[in-house]
Amino acid sequence: MLKIGLTGGIGAGKSEVSRLLGRYGAVVVDADRIAREVVEPGTEGLAAVAEAFGESVLTPDGALDRPRLGSIVFADPEKLRTLNAIVHPLVGARSEALQQAAGPGAIVVHDVPLLTENGLAPLYDLVIVVDASPETQLARLTTLRGMTDSEARARMAAQATRTERLAVADLVIDNDGPLEALEPQVQKIWAELKERAAITS
């Protein structure tokens, strides 16, 4: 099994790279998706979040009000740490279970937005960073995701810097350009991952 950590700053295009790798045959373990699952109604995760942040972070039907919680934690580093302390162990346990189910010859790609911030690089055989300039990230967040300039900058500021991410990278995918320039790079990396997996299996 080859364990890959995939990361990138918000708006860098990591999700598209993850989607392509999954299409080529990787087993993708999506930390963001798992993070949503572990705080669904009825879970211990949601109960812990409501206890820590109050009932105001719940919608009338008892689900997590993500925009409300986001506005709280991204404005306060201490509250963000509190949330991470609840969610990260749950995500880690679920990710490990999915990895074990993948089988010995699999290429398992862990799509982890906060890989750098949480010092997770040593957990993987290789770390791939999807890189884009802060200017590109900001433009994508405001035009494609509809964030205000200040919202986008706050989200970016809550993450590692570009330099910090690149420092943990074994492979870098440059996604500063158009979408059509991305797939050839991902195909090349996939070929390299298959070679490495063949050597290690």
Provide DSSP, 142-159: HHTS---HHHHHHHHHTS
Residue 141, Cβ neighbours under 10 Å: how many? 21
**How far apart (Å, rounded) are the C-alpha atoms in residues 178 and 183?**
10
Residue whose C-alpha is closest to residue 128's, from 42, 35, 190, 81:
190
Query: Which residues of the chain are modeled with pLDDT < 50?
Result: none
The pLDDT score that the predictor gives to residue 74 is: 84
Residue whose C-alpha is closest to residue 7's, from 190, 165, 189:
165
Residue 182 CA: distances (Å) to CA of 12, 19, 20: 11, 12, 10
The pLDDT score that the predictor gives to residue 23 is: 97
The pLDDT score that the predictor gives to residue 16 is: 94
Q: Provide the β-strand partners of residue 7.
A: 129
User: DSSP class of residue 64?
Assistant: B
**How far apart (Å, rounded) are the C-alpha atoms in residues 125 and 150?**
36
Residues 69-102 pLDDT 10s: 999 998 899 999 999 999 989 998 999 999 999 9
- Residue ranges and CATH numbers for the domains of the chain are 1-26+106-201 (3.40.50.300), 40-104 (3.40.50.300)
Q: List the alpha helices (DSSP H) in 38-118.
A: 44-53, 66-73, 77-101
3-class DSSP assignment, residue 42: coil
Residue 195, Cβ neighbours under 10 Å: how many? 10
The pLDDT score that the predictor gives to residue 38 is: 96
The pLDDT score that the predictor gives to residue 201 is: 63
**How far apart (Å, rounded) are the C-alpha atoms in residues 110 and 92?**
11
**How far apart (Å, rounded) are the C-alpha atoms in residues 133 and 197?**
31
Percent above pLDDT 90 for the chain: 84
